[in-house]
Each structure stands twice: as structure tokens, then as C-alpha cells.
Amino acid sequence: MTSFSSLMAEQKLLPIIQADTVEQGLNIARAMSLAGIKLVEVVLRTSASIDVLKAIKQEFPELIVGAGTVITPTILDKAVEAQADFIVTPTISVKLLDCLSSCGLPVLPGVSNAADIILAYEYGYRELKLFPASLSGGCAFLSAMSSIFQDISFCPTGGINAKNQYEYLALNNIFAVGGTWVADKNWVVNENWSQITQACQEALQPA
């Protein structure tokens, strides 16, 4: 199975697309692609999300497009049927992990505490999403976990922004950061697509 970090390659930003319509989703994806983004996560939080994912994959075949906010086996099945390239969850359960283990796609399971981490670890996962990062101990928590789970790396999401992303990326157990700050809701509503491109370009810059 391909690891999640290898899908991301050199990209240290996991940009999140949340769209109410297919048109919005395509415009966000286009703006991100113009910035040099190669991989995006479409969160399945709206009724249009699955259609957004399908449309982005069709319109931008060069993009790696995954499904986020996968919290049930039913949502997972829909994401797989939509040909998502990877799966991201905000949290985990034994039932969900059982389904994820057999879905055949790279998975980034979400954790928020040490108990979650050990459960995901027991299922063989060595790359995890910390969510919501800012409310789950942030950098201090991740730093503490590095000595306990020495072979686990994280992609923190939730509360990450342009100002603190490099603080997270400086930790030795972080392979990327995720967030919605590069596609601010106001920019989407106002169709300010160039601002999304600029924010993504800035986020891709090394510290």
C-alpha cells in the first residue's frame, strides 16, 4: 500500500477544499493547481461534496484528489465509488478502522489523544492526522508523543494557519500540515480565487 506521505511527495501542505457547489469546488481546485498544488482533500461535509470530488478528478486529472471527513462505512463506500485517491478521517473507531483497513486506498486516520494513537498503531498505521490540532495539545503534545511513538509521523489539522504552520513543520515527527486557511470561506463566497492561489503559494514556501 502506498503511504500517505509518499502521495504528497515534497508538498508540505494538505489543502482542504470545502465547497457548497461543484462550480465552487472546481474554482478552488483550479486556484490551488495554479499555485503548484499537486494533492488536495475534498471534505465530505456538504450534499455536493461527492459530486465536487468527481468533478475535480475529471477536470484536473493531474491532481491527486482525496476524500476527507470520512466518519462512517457508508461515507467511505461513497468515497471509494467516487474514485477518491486517498481517505482522511477526523477521528477513529474500531468499526471504522476495520473498514478502512480493507478499503484498498491510502488512509490518514484522525487522532486527538494518546489512546487514539495506540489504537491506530495497533491497526498498522504509522502516519496520522492530529485533529483538532490546536485543541489537542498542539506542538507541545506532538513533541511529547515523539519520544513515545518514535516511528509515527503526523499531519496536524485544525487551528493551523499561515503564522503557526512553520512551528509545526519544525517538529521532527511532522510530515505536513493541513488546513482551510488557504481557501478562506470569504474568498470563496466573494469568488476571490487569486487570493487562494496566493495563499497556497505562500504556504508552499520553505520556512
Active site residues: 41, 129
List residues bridging with 67 in a β-sheet: 42, 87
Burial (0-12, 13-18, 19+ Cβ within 10 Å), 123: middle
Q: Which of 122, 121, 127, 70 is nearest to 99 (CA)?
A: 70
The continuous run of DSSP H or E covering 42 comes out as strand 39-43
Question: Is the four-CA dihedral 80, 4, 171, 40 of positive or negative sign?
Answer: negative
By CB atoms closer than 10 A (0-12, 13-18, 19+), residue 34 is middle
Helices 22-34, 49-59: axis angle to 10 degrees equals 40
